[in-house]
A and B are shown apart, each in its own frame.
Chain A
Amino acid sequence: MDPGGPKTTDSANKLQVENLRSRGLGPVSFELRGGECMCVSGESGAGKSLLLRALADLDPYQGRVMLDGVACASFAATEWRKRVGLLVPESAWWADRVGAHFTTVDDTLLVDVGLGPEVADWSVARLSSGERQRLALVRLLCNQPGVLLLDEPTANLDPKNVERVEALVARQQREHGTAVLWVSHDPAQVERVSSRQLRLTGGRLEGWTAS
C-alpha cells in the first residue's frame, strides 16, 4: 500500500502549523501536504490529543494554523471544523438512532467499513464499540474534510476492520487528496500508513522520521 499516493496539486489541503502553543503543548511547527499521511506518536500525556484538539480549533491556542495558506481565524468556526475533521477515540452519540447523527449518508462509505445502509435505523445503544468507532469515521467523512485528524481510529477494532479502515483512509488520500494526521500506538501500523512521523514528548516536538 502506498498511502502517500499520487500527488494532487501541491497546495490543496495543505495544513501549515507555526509555533502552535496551547496549555501543555508546544511550540509545535510542521507542514502537512494534501494526500500525505503523517503519524503522531508519543507516550500518554505527551500532548497528542491536545495537538489534534488545537488543530480542530476546540482549544484556544497561540501561533498560526493555516489551511491552503488561509488562517484558521479567517474561516467561520463551523466551516473550519468541517474541513479539518477530528475523530476522537471515544465517539459521542447524542440521539437514540444512528441515522439522526447524519445529515447525508454516503452508503458506499458504510460498505467500506463493513456495514450497510440499514445501520441508519439501528439504535445507538446496540452498537458495539468497534461499530461506533467505524460509524464515527463514516460520519466524519460525510463532511468531506480536506484534513483528517485521527486519534487512534482503530483502537477498538479487530484485524479485519483495522484493514478496512486503513484502506478507506488511504483511498481518501488518493482520490480526494485528503491530508491525514494519525495518532497511533502501533509501530506496525505507523509503518504501514504513514510516510513521515512526528514524535511528541512532554508537549514538544521531539523529532521527525521519514520512513
Chain B
Amino acid sequence: MNLIQLSPLDLGLAALLVLALAGISWPLGLELGNRLLVAALRTTVQLALVGLVLKALFAHVDLGWVALMSLFMLAVAGWEVMARQQRRFTGWWGYGLGTLSMFVSSFAVAILALTAIIGPEPWYTPQYAVPLLGMLLGNTMNGIALSVDRLTEGAWQQRASIEGRLMLGQDWRQAVADLRRSSVRSGMIPIVNAMAAAGVVSLPGMMTGQILAGAPPMEAVKYQILIMFLISAGSGFGTVAAVWLAARRLFDERMRLRLDRLR
C-alpha cells in the first residue's frame, strides 16, 4: 500500500478554502456563510467519530457490534427518508414505511453479497460489511425518499381522478396504477442514470478511493461494478416495496382514498 498520509496541516489548508468561500458569501448576500461553516464542522466531527467507531469495530470483530452499527445506520436512514417527505404518513407509518423497506432490501442484498459473492471470513467482517451496507442504505434511502414523496404528493394532487376512478367502481390498484408506476420510476432513475454515466462522466467514489489507496485499477473497477449492481438491486427492490406499501396505506379496507393519513 502506497497510501500518502494526510497531516492536520493538509486538512487545515483545505479548510481555509471553505473559510474563503464562507467569506465571499457575506458580501454576495448569499446568507449561507454560517450554514456552510456549521456543515463543514459537522462533516469533520461526524466523520472523525465514525473513524473512531470503525477503528474500534475493526479491532474487535464481533457480530453483535456490527449488527448494532447496522441498526444505527438504518435508524438514521429511516429518519432521513421521513424528513424528506412533503406529506408524510401520520403516526408510526411515517417512520416505519421507509425503514422497513430499507431493512428488507438493503440488509438482504448486503448479506447475500457478503456470504455468497465477496465471502470474507467471517462474513460480517466489519471492513467489508459496514461500507457495503452504508452504500446500499444511502442509495436505497434516496430512491425510497424520492418515490414515496412522488406518490404521496401525486395522490394529493390527483385526488379527483383517483376518486373519479373509484366512483366508477374501479379497484384501488387500478385507481392508483399510473401514479404507482411513475413513482417507482422516479425512485429508480437516479441509479439507472448513475450506471449509464459511470466512468464516462465521473469516476465513482468507491473506485476512486480504492485507487487512491493503492489498489490496482482493474481490481477497483471490479468492485465498483459489483457495487453498482448491488445498489441498483437494493434500491430498486426497496423502492418497489416502499411504493407498494405506501400505495396500500393510502386506501382503507373499503378502498377509500385516505388523504387524512398524510399530513
Contact = CB atoms under 8 A, between A and B. Distances in A.
B169 interface: yes
Contacts of B178: 94
B163 to A, nearest CB: 6
Interface stretch (B92-100, B132-140, B249-257): B249-257
B59 interface: no
Interface stretch (A6-14, A32-40, A73-81, A168-176): A73-81
B256 A60 contact: yes
A88 interface: yes
A88 B161 contact: no
A206 interface: no
B185 interface: no
A57 B161 contact: no
A86 interface: yes
A81 B256 contact: no
Contact of A78 (B160, B164, B171): B171
Contacts, number: 54
Contact of B160 (A77, A86, A90, A143): A90
B32 interface: no
Interface string A53-89: 0001111100000000000010001110110011010
A1 interface: no
Contacts of B256: 57-60, 77
Instruction: Specify which of A59, A79, A81, A85 lies most central, judged by the most chain B CB atoms within 10 Å of its CB.
Output: A81
Instruction: Specify which of B164, B167, B257 lies most central, judged by the most chain A CB atoms within 10 Å of its CB.
Output: B167
Contacts of B257: 58
Interface string B65-87: 00000000000000000000000
Instruction: Specify which of B164, B178, B255, B258 lies most central, judged by the most chain A CB atoms within 10 Å of its CB.
Output: B164
Contact of A77 (B164, B165, B254): B254
Contacts of B57: none
Contacts of A90: 160
A210 interface: no
A79 B169 contact: yes
A82 B165 CA distance: 11
B20 interface: no
Contacts of B258: 60
B169 A139 contact: no
A62 to B, nearest CB: 13
B167 A81 contact: yes
B218 interface: no
B3 interface: no
A56 B167 contact: yes
A94 B168 contact: no
B164 A81 contact: no
B254 A94 contact: no
A139 B168 contact: yes
Interface string A77-109: 111011001101011111000000000000000
Given A78-B255, A90-B160, A94-B161, A85 B171 contact: no
A40 to B, nearest CB: 18
B169 A81 contact: yes
Contacts of B160: 88, 90, 92
Contacts of B161: 92-94
B233 interface: no
Given A81-B169, A143-B169, 12 more contacts: A57-B254, A57-B256, A60-B256, A77-B166, A78-B171, A79-B169, A82-B168, A82-B169, A85-B168, A88-B167, A92-B164, A93-B161
Interface of A: 56-60, 73, 77-79, 81-82, 85-86, 88, 90-94, 139-140, 143
17 contacts: A59-B256, A60-B256, A60-B258, A77-B166, A77-B254, A77-B256, A78-B170, A78-B255, A81-B166, A81-B167, A85-B167, A85-B168, A88-B167, A91-B164, A92-B161, A94-B165, A140-B168
